[in-house]
């Protein structure tokens, strides 16, 4: 029974998250509107011109879009978290036997509580491992290229020194 109470508390907090997030976006919408209007009114000393009207229109559009986004988050959050404990338990039992299989590698996640998240983490781990391998090959290629460039640079310096010595000897011999 203790696990069910913990789950109920977690579910209650998660149900409140979308409404709180929607409230934050609503506050941001009002802040943008108030700050923008205050700025427009303080800048427009001689009256309103074309730019001021465009700015006010942009503020109204942004205000409307943020409020629409907040409303969407609020409604989607209500629908998302209206799942009962029994429905989630049944869903976990039917999904891959309740546990996800881990990819080959150093890191793996196994979870009976959140198999979808475990699968995504395992996909990310596989992708990260392949990127690390590609980066290691890139480092090796860069080191080989640097070594080749050093050899070319050394050869060019040797040729320039040789040519300069020959020029100085020729100039010295011709002056005698």
Instruction: State the chain's mean pLDDT as an integer.
Output: 76
Tokens of 46: 């001689």
Residue 173: band (very low, low, confident or very high) from pLDDT cuts 50, 70, 90? confident
Closest by Cα among 83, 70, 84, 77 to 23 = 70
In the chain, the DSSP E strands lie at none
Residues contacting 84, CB < 8 A, separation 6+: none
Model pLDDT, residue 101: 46
DSSP 102: P
Pair 31, 8: CB distance under 8 Å? no
Model confidence at 29: pLDDT above 60: yes
Domain ranges of the chain: 1-82, 97-176
Give the containing element (helix H, strand E) for 6: helix 2-43
């Amino acid at each position: 029974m203790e696990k069910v109470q913990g789950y109920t508390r977690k579910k209650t907090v998660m149900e409140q998250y979308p409404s709180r997030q929607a409230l934050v976006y609503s506050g941001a919408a009002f802040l943008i509107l108030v700050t923008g209007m205050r700025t427009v009114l303080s800048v427009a000393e001689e009256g309103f011109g074309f730019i001021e009207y465009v700015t006010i229109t942009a503020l109204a559009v942004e205000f409307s879009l943020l409020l629409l986004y907040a409303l969407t988050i609020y409604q989607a959050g209500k629908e998302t978290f209206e799942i009962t404990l029994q429905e989630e338990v049944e869903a976990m039992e039917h999904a891959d036997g309740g546990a996800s299989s881990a990819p080959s590698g150093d890191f793996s996640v196994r979870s009976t509580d959140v198999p979808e998240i475990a699968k995504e983490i395992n996909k990310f781990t596989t992708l990260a491992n392949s990127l690390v391998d590609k980066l290691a090959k890139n480092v090796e290629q860069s080191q080989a290229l640097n070594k080749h460039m050093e050899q070319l640079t050394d050869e060019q310096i040797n040729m320039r020194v040789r040519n300069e010595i020959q020029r100085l000897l020729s100039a010295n011999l011709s002056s005698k």
